[in-house]
Amino acid sequence: MPIEGLSLNLATVRQQWTLDKAVDACLAQGITAIAPWRDQVAKIGLDEAARIVRANGLQVTGLCRGGMFPAADPSGRAAAIDDNKRAIDEAAAVGADCLVLVVGGLPEGSRDIAAARDMVADGIAAILPHARANNMPLAIEPLHPMYAADRACVNTLKQALDVCDQLGEGVGVAIDVYHVWWDPELMAQIARAGAAGRILAHHVCDWLVPTRDLLLDRGMMGDGIIDLKGIRAAIEAAGYHGAQEVEIFSAENWWKRPGEDVLATCIERFRSVC
Amino acid sequence: MPIEGLSLNLATVRQQWTLDKAVDACLAQGITAIAPWRDQVAKIGLDEAARIVRANGLQVTGLCRGGMFPAADPSGRAAAIDDNKRAIDEAAAVGADCLVLVVGGLPEGSRDIAAARDMVADGIAAILPHARANNMPLAIEPLHPMYAADRACVNTLKQALDVCDQLGEGVGVAIDVYHVWWDPELMAQIARAGAAGRILAHHVCDWLVPTRDLLLDRGMMGDGIIDLKGIRAAIEAAGYHGAQEVEIFSAENWWKRPGEDVLATCIERFRSVC
């Protein structure tokens, strides 16, 4: 029996399996939706990844990731735009529901976050025609403010939605609870996103107390302090009923466990706490 | 010659010196404003700390810290209120310009950040009459969202100012660049804070890339990516011309250096990059 409403972001098992092996393991436990990363696709080849998706009737809830638009010089920004167009092509080839954008932080040597944010909006605008032509929605993922300098200078749902409003059709948001749970305006902005039809993905994991690493210490759902059911209720009330995509970067815990155990725990927690 | 406009938060040299020794070292280099922590005051005794302040004509730009209002039960919240009233008394005794509030995070076992935020507003309201009676302004310090779970559920300047508006006179904000530099609404909220006469303190340090620890890896001004001069210009344009208070928690770097070198570097950077 397929498990309705659960997708596995393959970063969760990136230390255990390649894409093909991860898919076999997912199917064995009833998970029929995945979200791969581009390096995972590249490792087995785009054609083979697309074949695996089609042959197994998988849903691909997103391809991770485009973005990284800011750069210190115009040639760097142009290179980012080219790379993002390739990412759109890859997302289309694997039949992804959206291309997730981690927009990038400050260019090397810069302290001007407002300028970086302008570069992000300009970059998305530059790739949007190609995305529209390929019917590939672009999902801006606001990242936690602790990543503002080096990974993403879009840090709140409000900010991401303002960019969407500026750019029009074909762009929306990926709401990852890890990044947005703390935001005093979260519930209002989820409602706004839903009303505008902008919710393209819902990622889940948990915030651990204490958190021992800024990047690689995310928790399994239920092991932290995020109100997962409350946020999910708001997202559903806003009209989004797509999958919850489990994405856990966990260098010292989940990446060290047998992949089958990780999947089984994801399923159990998805049913009990999400 | 005293150095105008620079205050040293004594957390910056807490591994090197007790309060009395830190004051001697500050005066030797021309720093005549400090901000001690309550444990540093307690270690030498409140009376002795107050005597040192008076005898040397020091400015005390703030006492760190009150706050930590949320608790799982009413007795815990009542205990926090009592402790905050003592903190007000101590701040008054050392002649502090304000009592800095780190408001607290989620109570043990809670996932309800909205409830924690209500407890914060209720807690500040409960101590405000005592603060007003002692002419001790309360400075709500919004902390970076990475501390929302365990240290402070007030995470943006906007949110802090909304609490101020709700509570009226006698409460304002401490603007620490480390916590707010990423905020897309920072400049607008600084202007709002200034217009309302709510800016009580300005703390500086820097955000390092990479940041290796969530709590104890703050950088010296100039070593990171914060636009210190830009934020200072906005704060001055908003009408605040008080000291910049250097507060650096740095377990692996500045806390391990000779205190005199730390002070000399603070002064040099204050003059060159702040």
Decide: residue B229, CB within 10 A, 0-12 exposed, 13-18 middle, 19+ buried: exposed
Give contacts of B113 with chain A, Cβ < 8 Å: 181-182, 227
Residue A194 has pLDDT above 90, yes or no: yes
d(CA B247, CA B202): 10
Q: Give the mean pLDDT of A240-265.
A: 98
- Report A:95-124 residues touching B (Cβ under 8 A): 106, 110-113, 117
Closest residue on chain B to A118 (Cα): B184
Decide: residue A261, CB within 10 A, 0-12 exposed, 13-18 middle, 19+ buried: exposed
Q: State the nearest Cα–Cα gap between B104 and chain A, in angstroms.
A: 13
Query: What percent of chain B is predicted at pLDDT more than 90?
Result: 99
Closest residue on chain B to A148 (Cα): B182
Output DSSP code: residue A210. Answer: S
CB contact under 8 A, B144 and A145: yes
CB contact under 8 A, A225 and B144: no
CA nearest neighbour of B206 among B182, B234, B187: B182
SS3 A163: helix
Q: What is the pTM of this model?
A: 0.97
A214/B contact by beta carbon, under 8 A: yes
Alpha helices in A168-227 (DSSP H): 177-180, 186-195
- Report A:1-30 residues touching B (Cβ under 8 A): none
Residue B1: per-residue pLDDT: 74
CB contact under 8 A, B181 and A214: no
Output DSSP code: residue B210. Answer: S
pLDDT beneath 70: ranges in chain B: none
d(CA B164, CA B172): 6
d(CA A70, CA A76): 8
A203/B contact by beta carbon, under 8 A: no
Q: Give the mean pLDDT of A86-95.
A: 98
Q: Bridge partners of A8?
A: A34, A246
Sorted by sequence, the CB contacts under 8 Å of residue A77 that are 6+ apart come out as A69, A70, A71, A119, A122, A123
Give contacts of B214 with chain A, Cβ < 8 Å: 146, 210-211, 214
B255/A contact by beta carbon, under 8 A: no
Give contacts of A225 with chain B, Cβ < 8 Å: 106, 110-111, 149
Buried b (16+ CB within 10 A) or exposed e, A53-83: beeeebbbbbbbbbbbbbbeeeebbeebbeb
CA nearest neighbour of B271 among B218, B204, B208: B204
In chain A, % helix, strand, coil (3-state, to 5) comes to 45, 15, 35
Number of A/B CB contacts below 8 angstroms equals 77
Residues B48-101 pLDDT 10s: 999 999 999 999 999 999 999 999 999 999 999 999 999 999 999 999 999 999
Residue A115: per-residue pLDDT: 98
CB contact under 8 A, B148 and A111: no
At A204, the pLDDT band (50, 70, 90 cuts) reads very high
Residue B39: per-residue pLDDT: 98
Residue A2: per-residue pLDDT: 87
Residue A122: per-residue pLDDT: 98
Give contacts of B183 with chain A, Cβ < 8 Å: 145, 155
Residue A1: per-residue pLDDT: 74
A73/B contact by beta carbon, under 8 A: no
* Largest Cα span, chain B: 52
A72/B contact by beta carbon, under 8 A: no
Q: State the nearest Cα–Cα gap between A158 and chain B, in angstroms.
A: 10
The DSSP secondary structure of B159-193, one letter per residue, reads HHHHHHHHH-TTEEEEEEHHHHTT-TTHHHHHHHH
Closest residue on chain A to B222 (Cα): A111
Q: What are phi and psi of B2, to 5 degrees?
A: -65, 145
Residue A90 has pLDDT above 90, yes or no: yes
Residue A124 has pLDDT above 80, yes or no: yes
Residue B112: per-residue pLDDT: 98
B216/A contact by beta carbon, under 8 A: no
- Report B:149-168 residues touching A (Cβ under 8 A): 149-150, 153, 155-156, 158-159
Query: In this structure, which long-range contacts are made by residues A71-79, counting pairs with CB atoms below 8 Å and at least 24 apart in sequence?
Result: A71/A107, A71/A119, A72/A107, A72/A108, A72/A109, A72/A110, A76/A107, A77/A119, A77/A122, A77/A123
